[in-house]
Homo-oligomer: A and B are copies of this chain.
Amino acid sequence: MVEPASIVCKRIDKPVIFAKLLFMAGDLEAESSLERAFSWITGPTTPPRLEAAMRHAVFGGGGRVRPRLALAVASACGRGNVDVASAAAASIEFLHCASLVHDDLPCFDDADLRRGRPTVHVEHGEALAVLVGDALIAGAFEVIGRGCESHPGLLGPLLATVARSVGAVRGIVAGQAWESEPTPNLRLYHRAKTGALFEAAVCVGAIAGGGDPGAWLPVGSRLGEAYQVADDILDLVGSASALGKPVGQDARNGRPSAVQELGYERAFGRLQTLCDSMFTCVPAVEGREEFVGWAMNLCRKLFPPAEQCGVQRSNEAFLTA
């Protein structure tokens, strides 16, 4: 049954405090998953400067949206094995961090600010920044292997999912490479660049939680697209200090953007539609209601704060729509 976000929102009015607590707990859980996974991919023989640069890349703030999404889906499905869910969540975030470090390099965006701090290549040099990305991509697969040691039957599906999300066919590498094409395929570009890791996050969460990854895929696709549209809007109306990274990069780098394509008003409408439509896709699992509450908190954060774009377009508007 199709339920617009506004109805879902009202229905979860009561457990909203619980949902907020769950949202905050997911933060801590994602962070501890990353700490554990990081200890697996580094060791006493890791060159010290490389380890420092890797730590900079992984633990420099960040919303942890993808690993929290993976953990929330695993939890909604019944969790299955906690170690597998934790490793899968960390794996997706490692890939995300790797892509940020490489995207920031001078040969791509040449960005000097990320998450409110100097980018990895600015702080540690270009050579180590390239290696950090390499180490985190390899590390993403290593932690999947480690996490599945007691559940070898999950390794094949998880590995295939993670590999697809980063690869040259429809993964983040393909997404980034479309920017080097004279006539990029915009649909493939957006889906690969941002959608791939969101889709992977829900799928690995479902696999780890004993759910059906195919049923969750549309949730990831819609969230990924919503995230991309929100990012394009913030690139236009956000401030570098609030975002912790430079703004106006899409226009500067001549990159396709939802705002450029649809205009500001319609981009906003598209964002709202995507969030609404995402909620209708959430499978009827035992923990559906908690997941919807959690995702509502997530979507609220996608909308720029009121002071940046007028009250009727703020996150408050979304929550009372």
Contacts and interface: CB of A to CB of B under 8 A. Distances in A.
Interface of A: 41-43, 45-51, 54, 98, 102, 105, 107-108, 125-128, 130-131, 133-135, 137-139, 141-142, 144-146, 148-149, 152-153, 155-156, 159-160, 162-164, 166-171, 173-174, 176-181, 184-185, 188, 192
B127 A173 contact: no
State how many copies of this chain the complex holds: 2
Contacts of A168: 41-42, 46-47, 50-51, 54, 131, 135, 138-139
Given A98-B134, A125-B107, A176-B131, A169 B41 contact: yes
Contact of A153 (B50, B138, B152): B152
A185 B46 CA distance: 10
Nearest to A43: B169
Contacts of A192: 45
A138 B181 contact: no
Contact of A141 (B43, B163, B173): B163
Contacts of A137: 134, 137-138
Contacts of A142: 159-160, 163-164, 167
A148 B158 CA distance: 13
Contacts of A152: 152-153, 155-156
A174 B46 contact: yes
The 7 A-B pairs of least Cβ separation, nearest first, read A142-B163, A50-B177, A107-B126, A135-B168, A47-B177, A141-B141, A43-B169
A97 to B, nearest CB: 13
Residue among A125, A178, A185 with most chain B CB within 10 A = A178
Contact of A155 (B131, B138, B159, B169): B159
A108 B40 CA distance: 27
Nearest to A158: B145
19 contacts: A42-B169, A43-B169, A45-B170, A46-B168, A47-B174, A47-B177, A50-B173, A50-B177, A107-B130, A127-B179, A131-B180, A134-B134, A137-B138, A138-B171, A138-B173, A139-B168, A145-B156, A149-B156, A155-B159
A38 to B, nearest CB: 10
A141 B128 contact: no
